């Protein structure tokens, strides 16, 4: 029942069927991830029972829950793979609400014929990121779809965290006078993926920014002067800022030249006629905070490689309500709309 | 931005892109499900923030977590649709551990071109089942995959519950002397799906047994005399009983003629050369309990339409360890193995 030669072995339909072969598939994935029970588990993931049962210790009763599916094409890209995306995306959604991420569930939907070698690489990535962030995979599910019914692999990760501050950090809580911070360059993930797909070549190769922002943002998340926070995924900077502006009923006034961008990412967008502010990132957040927190936040962000390029890019004002206003270097102003859709499909 | 004519409208790639069109898709789904914030939400699903933040009241701190992906083909079948499967499957996985199901997350991965009409029917089913069981969808995610990259729709549901008894109900806790109960006819789901696919006709049409077993099993789950419990999904009765036998290190001795089966389901299996005990159910459970609980359990199960056909089908013995032993009416004995894989792909 062991995988003999994982470079050549492929996933077959029977690996999804609830029998001995599925046990083999689950065993393979679990080993690569490094699944282990913890002392807080009454029923842990190693037991492959119907659910995990966990006695949470020393925490409050306020749960934070999220879910994300990942359909990226290609599955392996410069700077990561779909496993990075799944763990980082879900963890980041918990953090920006003010939560410490604790548990993930992992649903894998695999196309018949997918290699165990690629599956193993993805599972190892997931395991490494879990170790790095202290998050545990506590429940999982595998399905196999017939060849041609699914392109390669889709992951779903759901996340459970606990609130580590008095109030959650809500999209709707930005206030006039607040400062606006972005934790790093925008658009790297989408443009690096696009350059890979289109076969564009640049002197410096772009990499995806995909990364979990825990523990980098832990201290910041605990600061009550943080009013609003959002990771930028599909629809990028434009979607995230517009969500905050609309839900808070305020205007986000952004100085365009302050937004950190890689020249290669900018160039790709210019060549292809894309708006970089609409391109997805997978390891960047927007932070809206009381101005008194400015120095503390920037100093803290500079300490972590994931957020070292953080910059203040603007401020929250009252009018025009529910709008994102971009101020250009030469004094122009324009409204940045929420995009119609992500300009590049299947980036996450 | 409204869906004008949902019978004709189809999901397009841009509906998955994180922009205004995705808001439209999410709005459509939320309305059909009937998504609403609750008073325990600090950040509820109506706010479409990055995560839901929930203050659990009057509960212990023992969480029960599970996840399930659903890839069934066809999406609509006699007795239900993929929405029933998603809600019931996840809720049942929580119940059989001894949990009260509380929250679901919902990930929808939709093929470009899927109709809003079908999507609406699925979402309404999900909403109705949530209402019936008192479970809430608290977080969601939608992705759209290009035409031909996914066949129709895949759902992922993750579930959160709280333990409502001292100890969880584990696969590994069956004890010699225990009675074995099955809550209803086996193999209905898989065989009904198969007859639909193969175009077989029978006088009485088979229906899927898909149903959430909450609140039907609530009282039983609270009884400490319940030692082990499992819902039968992929691999059916054979997989579920073997899991318990192996993990508990006991023998499950089953009287074949006691197992409730529909004649139509048996007939389909005979025609197609399938073992009915390997065929999936989606609303049936196996219960292993102390013999003193027999009358209480059977009386309680008979009260609920979902479990009214419950029967005692055998007992747990010591030897041969880790085996399921089938006793036939004429006195024969055979070992029921864990199947190699589900005989029918994509039934759940």
- CATH number for the domain harbouring residue B81: 3.30.1330.10
Q: B160: distance to nearest CA of chain A, Å? A: 9
pLDDT tier for residue A281 given thresholds of 50, 70 and 90: very high
How confident is the model over A174-205, as pLDDT tens digits? 999 999 999 999 999 999 988 888 776 665 67
Percent of chain B with pLDDT over 90: 75
Give the closest of A53, A160, A278 to B163, CB-based: A53
Q: B163: distance to nearest CA of chain A, Å? A: 8
Residue A347 domain flag = no
Give the residues across from B156 on adjacent strands: B69, B107
CB contact under 8 Å between B66 and A50, yes or no, is yes
Give the closest of A21, A71, A154 to B341, CB-based: A21
pLDDT tier for residue A1 given thresholds of 50, 70 and 90: very low
Average pLDDT over residues B175-200: 91
Q: B137: distance to nearest CA of chain A, Å? A: 10
A-chain residues within 8 Å CB-CB of B158?
67, 105, 107, 139, 156, 158
Average pLDDT over residues B183-189: 96
Q: B250: distance to nearest CA of chain A, Å? A: 16
Q: Pick from B135, B163, B191: which residue ends a domain? A: B163
Do residues B113 and B183 both lie within one domain? Answer: no
Q: For chain A, report the end-to-end CA distance as a whole number of angstroms.
A: 34
Alpha helices in A96-145 (DSSP H): 116-133
Do residues A144 and A274 both lie within one domain? Answer: no
Average model confidence (pLDDT) across chain A: 92
Output the pLDDT for position B60. Answer: 63
The secondary element (H helix, E strand) that includes residue B237 is: helix B236-248
Q: For chain B, report the end-to-end CA distance as a whole number of angstroms.
A: 34
Do residues A228 and A283 both lie within one domain? Answer: yes
Give the closest of B50, B71, B105 to A231, CB-based: B50
Q: Give the separation between CA A87 and CA B6, rounded to whole angstroms.
A: 35
Task: Examine the pLDDT at A172 and tell me if it is beyond 50.
Answer: yes
Average pLDDT over residues B103-121: 95
Residue B21 domain flag = yes
Strand, helix or coil at B292?
A: helix
Q: Give the separation between CA A7 and CA A250, rounded to whole angstroms.
A: 54
Contact between A64 and A169 (Cβ < 8 Å): no
Write the CB contacts of B195 (distance below 8 Å, at least 6 apart in sequence).
B201, B202, B205, B206, B264, B268
Task: Examine the pLDDT at A271 and tell me if it is beyond 80.
Answer: yes
Output the pLDDT for position B204. Answer: 62
Write the CB contacts of B49 (distance below 8 Å, at least 6 apart in sequence).
A97, A170, A171, A172, A247, B43
Residue A304 domain flag = yes
Q: What torsion do the CA atoms of A221, A222, A224, A228 make, to the nearest 10 degrees? A: 10
Residue B103 domain flag = yes
Do residues B29 and B42 both lie within one domain? Answer: no
Concatenated DSSP letters for B177-227? Answer: T-EEEE-S-SSHHHHHHHHHHHT---SSPP-------TTTTHHHHH-TTEE
Output the pLDDT for position A38. Answer: 86
Q: A4 lies in which domain range?
A: 1-35
CB contact under 8 Å between A342 and B18, yes or no, is yes
Output the pLDDT for position A20. Answer: 87
- CATH number for the domain harbouring residue A269: 3.90.650.10
Q: Give the separation between CA A238 and CA A336, rounded to whole angstroms.
A: 7
CB contact under 8 Å between A234 and B170, yes or no, is no
Do residues A154 and A209 both lie within one domain? Answer: no
Q: Provide the 10 A C-beta neighbour count for residue B309.
A: 16
Distances (CA, A) of B245 to A1, B170, B292, B293: 19, 12, 21, 20
How confident is the model over A11-29, as pLDDT tens digits? 988 888 778 888 899 899 9
CB contact under 8 Å between A18 and B234, yes or no, is yes
How confident is the model over A39-51, as pLDDT tens digits? 888 888 888 888 8
Q: Give the separation between CA A12 and CA A226, rounded to whole angstroms.
A: 49
pLDDT tier for residue B5 given thresholds of 50, 70 and 90: low
Q: B136: distance to nearest CA of chain A, Å? A: 12
Concatenated DSSP letters for B89-103? Answer: HHHHHHHTTTEEEEE
Give the closest of A49, A154, A342 to B17, CB-based: A342
Q: A73: distance to nearest CA of chain B, Å? A: 10
Domain count, chain B: 3
Order of strands, sheet of A99-111, starting from the edge strand that comes earlier in the sequence: A136-145, A99-111, A153-163, A62-70, B52-55, B41-43
Residue A345 domain flag = no
How confident is the model over B211-268, as pLDDT tens digits? 999 999 999 999 999 999 999 998 999 999 999 999 999 999 999 999 999 999 999 9
Percent of chain A with pLDDT over 90: 75
Q: Pick from B132, B163, B194: which residue ends a domain? A: B163
Residue B342 domain flag = no
CB contact under 8 Å between B159 and A247, yes or no, is no
Average model confidence (pLDDT) across chain B: 92
Output the pLDDT for position A51. Answer: 87
Output the pLDDT for position B173. Answer: 96
Average pLDDT over residues A155-180: 95
In sign, the C-alpha dihedral spanning A123, A126, A131, A134 is negative
Residue in B with minimal Cα distance to A141: B68
Residue A20 domain flag = yes
CB contact under 8 Å between B63 and A56, yes or no, is yes
Average pLDDT over residues B30-54: 88
Alpha helices in A177-313 (DSSP H): 188-198, 218-222, 236-248, 263-272, 294-302
Output the pLDDT for position B1. Answer: 45
Do residues A55 and A30 both lie within one domain? Answer: no
Do residues A41 and A29 both lie within one domain? Answer: no
Q: Pick from A146, A163, A180: which residue ends a domain? A: A163
Q: Give the separation between CA A178 and CA A175, rounded to whole angstroms.
A: 6
Residue in B with minimal Cα distance to A239: B19
Average pLDDT over residues B86-112: 95
Do residues B41 and B31 both lie within one domain? Answer: no
CB contact under 8 Å between A64 and B54, yes or no, is yes
Strand, helix or coil at B163?
A: strand
CB contact under 8 Å between B231 and A50, yes or no, is yes
Mutation to test the A interface, candidates B16, B17, B23, most A Cβ within 10 Å: B17
Contact between A165 and A60 (Cβ < 8 Å): no
Strand, helix or coil at B279?
A: coil
Task: Examine the pLDDT at B7 and tell me if it is beyond 70.
Answer: no
Size of interface A-B (CB pairs under 8 A): 311
Do residues A117 and A229 both lie within one domain? Answer: no
Q: Give the separation between CA A140 and CA A156, rounded to whole angstroms.
A: 10
Residue A346 domain flag = no
pLDDT tier for residue A60 given thresholds of 50, 70 and 90: low
How confident is the model over A287-328, as pLDDT tens digits? 999 999 999 999 999 999 999 999 999 999 999 999 999 999
Do residues A178 and A288 both lie within one domain? Answer: yes
Do residues A17 and A75 both lie within one domain? Answer: no
Lowest mean pLDDT segment, chosen from A151-160, A189-198, B312-321:
A189-198
CB contact under 8 Å between B346 and A141, yes or no, is no
Q: Give the separation between CA B67 and CA A91, rounded to whole angstroms.
A: 17
Compute chain B's Rg from CA coordinates. Answer: 21
Q: Evaluate if pTM is beyond 0.90.
A: yes
Mutation to test the B interface, candidates A35, A49, A51, most B Cβ within 10 Å: A51
Do residues A132 and A182 both lie within one domain? Answer: no
Task: Examine the pLDDT at B163 and tell me if it is beyond 70.
Answer: yes
Output the pLDDT for position A309. Answer: 96
Task: Examine the pLDDT at B33 and tell me if it is beyond 50.
Answer: yes
How confident is the model over A200-239, as pLDDT tens digits? 666 567 899 999 999 999 999 999 999 999 999 989 999 9
A-chain residues within 8 Å CB-CB of B168?
42-43, 53
Output the pLDDT for position A2. Answer: 55
């Amino acid at each position: 029942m062991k995988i003999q030669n994982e470079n050549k072995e492929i996933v077959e339909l029977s690996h999804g069927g609830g029998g001995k072969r599925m046990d083999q598939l689950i065993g393979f994935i679990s080993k690569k991830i490094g699944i282990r029970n913890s002392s807080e588990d009454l029923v842990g993931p190693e037991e492959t029972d119907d659910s995990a049962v966990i006695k949470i210790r020393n925490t409050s009763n306020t749960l934070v829950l999220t879910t994300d599916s990942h359909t990226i094409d290609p599955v392996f890209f410069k700077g990561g793979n779909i496993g990075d995306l799944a763990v980082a995306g879900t963890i980041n959604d918990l953090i920006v609400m003010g939560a410490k991420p604790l548990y993930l569930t992992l649903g894998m939907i695999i196309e018949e014929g997918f290699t165990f070698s690629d599956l193993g690489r993805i599972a190892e990535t997931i395991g490494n990121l879990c170790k790095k962030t202290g998050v545990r995979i506590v429940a999982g599910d595998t399905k196999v779809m017939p060849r041609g019914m699914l392109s390669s692999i889709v992951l779903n990760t759901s996340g459970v965290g606990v609130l580590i501050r008095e109030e959650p950090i809500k999209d709707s809580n930005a206030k006039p006078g607040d400062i606006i911070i972005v934790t790093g360059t925008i658009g790297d993930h989408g443009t690096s993926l696009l350059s890979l797909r289109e076969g564009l070549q640049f002197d410096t190769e772009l990499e995806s920014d995909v990364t979990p922002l825990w523990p980098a943002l832990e201290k910041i998340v605990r600061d009550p002067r943080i009013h609003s926070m959002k990771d930028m995924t599909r629809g990028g900077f434009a979607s995230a800022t517009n969500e905050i502006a609309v839900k808070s009923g305020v205007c986000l006034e952004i100085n365009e030249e302050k937004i950190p961008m890689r020249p290669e990412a900018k160039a790709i967008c210019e060549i292809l006629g894309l708006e970089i502010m609409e391109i997805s990132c997978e390891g960047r957040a927007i932070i809206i905070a009381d101005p008194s927190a400015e120095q503390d936040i920037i100093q803290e962000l500079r300490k972590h490689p994931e957020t070292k390029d953080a910059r203040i890019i603007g401020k929250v004002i009252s009018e025009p309500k529910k709008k994102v206003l971009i101020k250009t270097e030469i004094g122009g102003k324009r409204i940045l709309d929420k995009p119609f859709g992500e300009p590049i499909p299947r980036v996450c």
